[in-house]
Amino acid sequence: MNLVYTGLAVLFTYLVFRECRGYLRRRSLPPGPRGLPLIGNVHQLPTKLPWIRFFEISKQFDSPVISFNAAGQTVIVLNDHKSAFELLDRRSLNYSHRPRFIMAGELLCAGIMLSFISYGDLFRRMRRFTHQVFGPHNAEQFCDMQEKEAGHLVLEILQRPKDWDNSLKRSTSSNILTATYGWPRLDDTYLPLVKRIHDHTEHLSNACIPGTSMVDLFPFINHLPLWMSKWKKKALAWHERESRMFEGFVEDVKVSMAKGHAPNSFTSALIENSEKHGLSNKEGAWLAGIMFSAGAETTSATLENFLIAMIHHPHIMRKAQAEIDRVVGRGRLPTFKDRSQLPYIRALVREILRWRPAGPMGIPRRVSEDDYYEGYYIPKGAIVISNIWAIDRDPALYANPEDFIPERHLDETETVDVSPPDMHGLGHSSFGFGRRTCVGVTFASQSLFINIAHFLWAFNVEAALDANGEKRPPSLTDVIDAGVTVGPAPFDCRITPRSSDVLTVVERSVFQA
């Protein structure tokens, strides 16, 4: 009997100890708003402009790292570069997994879309191959194509200046689809197809928005039979339809390769190295498909932000134009060979990405093991969100972070690139952290540089005029939140050639290339 009492006492002591330890761990989570019983902070998680609201909450609690209880699920938000770099970069193995995206990741994408899969063998194989094509050195193979497309964009805007927005979107789509599938430059006949792929991206982005899918809120309903789950049947049908589209694109490249006239592209390399990368036909097709999803909309949104910046800061536009005129002259268009002599244009690109990141909230991570950061407990399974918008405004790194100042990315001579520490020389965090850093960073940076250099060489941009002839500059705060990608709300502007011979020079460059 004494042994029984002793055993019960030991068990009781263990349970008390475990409960106390759990209580202390809960107490040591990063600070955050007080929640309600059962639902915690679900009602306090921001859905509109969350990057701004999270930043405000971090100021309220005087902590760049904050936490929420989403009905029992711990959510950690990182709002400064120090915490984001330490956790997502230096401890990347523990922070490279994804939460469970049932609708977007499992049903719509069948667990094979790179953005949504957790860190593991499939992720490593997909990322390794993508790096072989779009990595820092290999992406240079696309420079000639990007130069030609930038020239065509300028020509198109010269011909149809009021339709600049559609021209910009078509051009960025053409860039990434040519690089991905080897397609010829997209003209208006491709617009239905481009819209089709944009719809794909929008559908997935919307599925990622918290609260839009009941199955992500109540995972148990995923086990209901199909006859009881119209929403699930619809999602699976969507996946099969999109798979046929992507696999069809790959088959078209195979046919062109067999005929001997397929240009180098991501997909042609995918086909040539099929045994090496070990991806199934379906996995490879979806990997190629994500190249467009990840690249086109973010690039076009960044170029739109560039126009807004130039309208609000004409002195910066004039300074950048003066550099281009000094290096390039007025008899030809800029090229990538000029890049080393255009430090202010390079700085301008970096500042746009810092000032208005097209992805202000990184896709959430999931912690694989318990961790601690500066005394805060970060439990296994916690969802971690990197607030890129706040990180790129970290006052510890950037003086007057709300201001648009390209010079912050140059040394005192304004000839040498500089960057805050632990940013891999980029000067901002808009491409993410660690093993989840955007693999297309070089391709995207090339595209932005050459398009902005061409635009500044050819055009002046000013605010549109209202009915009374008064300037009506675009809003600095109105945005369209498409889930993952955020761009400025539609706006008007006046785009005019800088001189009377611009058209002649552009036509000579475009048609002789």
Token pair belonging to 175: 């860039």
Collapsing DSSP states into helix, strand and coil, what is residue 287?
A: helix
CB atoms within 10 A of CB 408: 20
Annotated binding residues, written as ranges, equal 438
Distance from C-alpha of 295 to C-alpha of 359, rounded to nearest angstrom: 11
**The amino acid at 165:** D
Distance from C-alpha of 388 to C-alpha of 51, rounded to nearest angstrom: 8
Long-range contacts of 277-284 (CB under 8 A, 24+ apart): 277/125, 277/126, 277/128, 277/129, 278/125, 279/125, 279/126, 279/129, 281/247, 281/250, 282/110, 282/112, 282/243, 282/247, 283/112, 283/122, 283/126, 284/250
Which residues, in sequence order, are CB contacts of 35 under 8 Å at separation 6+?
41, 42, 44, 68, 69
Distance from C-alpha of 338 to C-alpha of 329, rounded to nearest angstrom: 11
User: Which among 144, 136, 137, 129 has a CA at the least distance from the CA of 179?
Assistant: 144
Element (H, E) at 11: helix 2-27
Residue 458 contacts residue 150 (beta carbons within 8 Å): no
User: Which among 480, 456, 460 has a CA at the least distance from the CA of 348?
Assistant: 456
Token pair belonging to 477: 């705060």
Which residues, in sequence order, are CB contacts of 414 under 8 Å at separation 6+?
343, 344, 407
Distance from C-alpha of 18 to C-alpha of 28, rounded to nearest angstrom: 15
Annotated binding residues for heme, written as ranges, equal 438
Handedness of CA 343, 345, 347, 350 (dihedral sign): negative
| CA distance readout (Å), 121 to 110, 284, 337 | 16, 14, 39
413: DSSP letter: T
